[in-house]
Amino acid sequence: MRSQLVFATNNQHKTLEVKSILADNYEVLNLADIGCDYDIPETGATFAENATLKSSYVDKNYNIDCFADDSGLEVEALNNEPGIYSARYSGNRGDAVNMNFLLHKMEGVDNRNARFKTVISLIKNGTNYLFEGVINGKIRHKPVGEMGFGYDPIFEPNGYHITFAEMEMALKNKISHRALAMQKLIAFLKKS
């Protein structure tokens, strides 16, 4: 029987992505699965702080080992914006509106370098462990692809000629920022 591990998120896209990555080792539950409907505030100044706020909340209130992530897109020409504000960059939560807001800010900008970054906070037996994943790429001029979520339709990872939104989930789950952080998390869990 697989062990249970709580992923402190209500984001169904993230939940499905992580479930498919961890399927062989863990049954992944999300906040809804444990009856948590509280929207945990992300008031930290870094990805690590936000991830830790979420995992600490679940640990403290539900006494369950869990992990949380905070992820975002950092665009070089925009001083690494949107960063920790990726999910609400335009002032609203909504993938299309945030993506269009970013594309508008990038009009006429030649430097398209960007990176996706994830930091995972795992609280296990009362100790916080952090794992980071980064993938570099560039911002496309217009959205392409139907898969993925967030900024996936405008992010082309280095070494590929397709966006994350054009990529099969199996490939994205090998190379994405979240996948890289998850690989570190899984390696740690297997050792402990």
Q: Show which residues are catalytic.
A: 70
For 102, the token pair is: 């970013």
For 74, the token pair is: 């950092």
Please give the distance of CA 115 from its chain centroid, rounded to a whole number: 12
**Maximum Cα–Cα distance across the chain:** 54
- Counting Cβ atoms within 10 Å, is residue 3 exposed (0-12), middle (13-18) or buried (19+)? exposed
Decide: 173 and 17 in contact? Cβ < 8 Å. Answer: yes
CA distance 67 to 21: 14
